[in-house]
Amino acid sequence: MSRSITHLAFAVLISFATVALAQENAQQQDTTAATSPAVETRLALRDLWSEHVVWVRNYVLGSHLKDQAMAQAAEKEIVENAKGIAGAMEPFYGQEASGPLRTTSRSLDRS
């Protein structure tokens, strides 16, 4: 008899866990659907800034090692990345906010 009670308790526990997981998944889907554009924007900006850090590091490393090819390639990517960051900021903060990044990237592009 104790074995059947143990099995019944286990079945009830599994049932509650399944219902709880289903509710949690439904809530996550609702949250994800509601914030999907915000999450996508955040991830895109995170990628842009992460790439920027990598290219700045490569530029510093190339300059330190006196590897002109590495430094020039990294500098080109820094400029392109700065333009991407400026473009990503523009819809939120306007052209005035993206201006300094665009100006900086143009001055680096000419040198």
Residue 80: CB partners within 8 Å, gap ≥ 6? 105
Rounded Cα gap, residues 76 and 18, in angstroms: 53
pTM over 0.85: no
Which band of pLDDT confidence, cut at 50, 70 and 90, is reported for residue 8?
low
Distance of CA 27 to the CA centre of its chain: 23
Residue 76: CB partners within 8 Å, gap ≥ 6? none
What is the per-residue pLDDT across 23-66, written as a single tens digit (0 to 9) for each?
666 666 655 555 677 788 888 889 999 999 999 999 999 999 99
pLDDT of res. 57 = 94
Q: What number of residues does the chain have? A: 111
Which band of pLDDT confidence, cut at 50, 70 and 90, is reported for residue 109?
low
For the chain, give every domain's residue range: 2-110
